[in-house]
Amino acid sequence: RISMAASGRELGEACLFVCCGGTIDKDYPRSTGGYAFEFGDVPAVERILKRVIPHGWGWDHEVRVLFQKDSLDMTDADRAALVDVLRETSHAQVVVTHGTDTMIATARAMDAPARQLAKVVA
């Protein structure tokens, strides 16, 4: 187990991955010869976790696709939906996959609720 010193928690604790889109979830479509982007059927985090932790190692985690958007298309309503997920989940650790262009705006929207709920969000 890896200790997360700032939170006092260990990496082995249950974790929720919330997928919101961004480049990490985009694929190059074969139909256009790879000159465009489209969102794939399987979130990148699922593909990554299967390679990094092929047998799960007993690690309790959940992957939830909230939406698949370019971060420039994210709205305040999308950020509110993400905060709702944070409030509704029993997981104390949450990882959000998100595009880079508006990541700071989303982090600001999640900061106070995460602190209030004692959640670790990355």
Identity of the residue numbered 86: L
Please give the C-alpha separations between residue 25 and each of 10, 13, 18, 22, 78, in angstroms, as whole numbers: 27, 25, 12, 6, 17
Query: How far, in Å, CA of 73 to CA of 22, rounded?
Result: 10
Token couple for 22: 């961004």
| Count of domains observed in the chain | 1
Query: How far, in Å, CA of 36 to CA of 28, rounded?
Result: 6
Query: How far, in Å, CA of 95 to CA of 18, rounded?
Result: 6
Write out the residue range of the structural domain in which residue 46 sits.
3-121
CATH number at residue 64: 3.40.50.1170
pLDDT digit string (tens) for 52-98?
776 666 678 889 999 988 889 999 999 999 999 999 999 999 999 98
Q: What is the pTM of this model?
A: 0.77
